[in-house]
Structure 1
């Protein structure tokens, strides 16, 4: 189980690094836009991200 969690964490880091590597200026603008958002907007974005991730995990397993 810990090995699978470690692999999942490593894949998350790879996927998180793709956008800043390929499009650093766009990524910087996105982060700046997120920083100006309200707490509610950030929470909704996080919730949607978690739900999509959970849904995809369910589909692929």
Structure 2
């Protein structure tokens, strides 16, 4: 059985891999998204962040529930 810290480090590594893939495969689109993000109000960016955290947390709970 792997330790909790191993799972956390693995999760961070996967975030870097996925984010790196987006930058490598879609650099122009990411630049446009960053420009768009600068024009959005802070409240909308905060809402997107809270939505992403909530969705991720719900996914973790569902995975945990269905895999035991």
Task: Calculate the TM-score normalised by the size of structure 1.
Answer: 0.88
CA RMSD of aligned residues (A): 1.1
Stretches of structure 2 that go unaligned for 5 or more consecutive residues are none
Stretches of structure 1 that go unaligned for 5 or more consecutive residues are none
TM-fit CA distance, 1:56:
1.1
Aligned length in residues: 61
Partner residue, 1:11: 14
Q: Is structure 2 residue 64 aligned with structure 1 residue 49?
A: no
Task: Calculate the TM-score normalised by the size of structure 2.
Answer: 0.80
Q: Which runs of 4+ in 1 moved over 2 A?
A: none
